[in-house]
Amino acid sequence: MSPQDLAPVDILRVGNILGECILWDWRRDALWWTDIQAKKLHRYDWAHRSLRVMDTPERVASFGFVLGSTQLIAAFESGVALYGADDQSVSWLARPEARAPGERFNDGRVDRHGRFWTGTMLEGGHRAAHGRLYSVGIGGELRCHVSGIRISNGLCQSPDGRRLYFADSPLRRISVYELNALDGTLGPPRLFAETPEGAYPDGAAVDADGCVWSAHWGGGCIVRYTPDGKIDRRLRVPTRQPSCVCFGGPDLELLCVTSAREGLEDSVLSAEPHAGDVFLYRTGIKGLPESEYRS
């Protein structure tokens, strides 16, 4: 069987509106993800095969784990906070006042040096370039690194933490930046990869070999790129809107994929009954542990 015809070993039938930011919690053997539009955070207990769905006070677009804490660092729609998922406690770190109407936070991830990176986008069908890419450092310092973005997506880092990958989805472009570990600054962007017409780069993750796995929203597939940007393999998924990926399971050998049913017509949903579900694949490739935010 070719990689593109690989079947899921399991499907978590959750029917998310907009499943996103899936992460493996190696400390608790749990798989986390958010349904942005439903204002729900999901935690799947691996040992007991049980799912807990938690309400959130605002839409959570992305999040990361915090060193020495059970809290999350979360990019809510209006800002970034330390968040206790069990008791819904929110300690705001930054809420930018200069956001444009309809601008909300979107994709995010903790880098290998303990910083949280997250970007914004404009909702309401607009594709104006008002989005920005931020980092949140120790103590909650918010720094803007890039502006003029349409939809921030695809944040992930190379295994050594020296390269930051980032996608502006409507442009169908994945860029790579050199990341200065000491001061957290970015070098100039270089084109890493371009996606085909109708396929938009969404959430992404880097494996132990340094290859980038990118969910192609609208393209119905996950694409693995080598570190030099060449396509290594393409994995078809059972819906046209895969949204994010991570490596999970106790051995980090399962590719976990969220998806969305947002914007799909009834006829499409009938043909794609697993739209919005989470897919688990055994690809023969191992991932890396998620980094933790250093508060």
- Give CA 190 to chain center in angstroms: 21
User: Any idea which residues carry the catalytic annotation?
Assistant: 202
CA distance 133 to 136: 10
**Confidence at residue 295, expressed as pLDDT on a 0 to 100 scale:** 85
CA distance 110 to 63: 8
Bridge partners (DSSP) listed for residue 165: 156, 176
Please give the order of strands across the beta sheet that includes 131-136.
Answer: 103-110, 116-122, 131-136, 142-149
Q: Which helix (H) or strand (E) holds 267?
A: helix 266-271
**Confidence at residue 165, expressed as pLDDT on a 0 to 100 scale:** 98
CA distance 221 to 206: 16
**Confidence at residue 98, expressed as pLDDT on a 0 to 100 scale:** 67
Residue numbers of the domain that contains 200: 3-293
Number of domains in the chain: 1
CA distance 14 to 35: 10
For 252-266, b where at least 16 C-beta lie within 10 A, e where not — what string?
Answer: bbbbbbbbbbbebee
Q: In Å, what is the CA distance from 170 to each residue of 3, 51, 229? A: 27, 33, 19
Residues of the chain with pLDDT under 70: 1-3, 98, 125-127
CA distance 100 to 286: 40
pTM of the model: 0.96
CA distance 189 to 80: 25
Q: Report the CATH number that the domain containing residue 192 is assigned in CATH.
A: 2.120.10.30
**Confidence at residue 1, expressed as pLDDT on a 0 to 100 scale:** 39
Token pair for 107 = 């994709």
Q: Does residue 62 contact residue 243 with C-beta atoms inside 8 Å?
A: no
Nearest to 151 by CA among 230, 211, 257, 61: 61
For 92-119, b where at least 16 C-beta lie within 10 A, e where not — what string?
Answer: ebbeeeebeeebbbbbbbbbbbbbbbbb
**Confidence at residue 102, expressed as pLDDT on a 0 to 100 scale:** 86
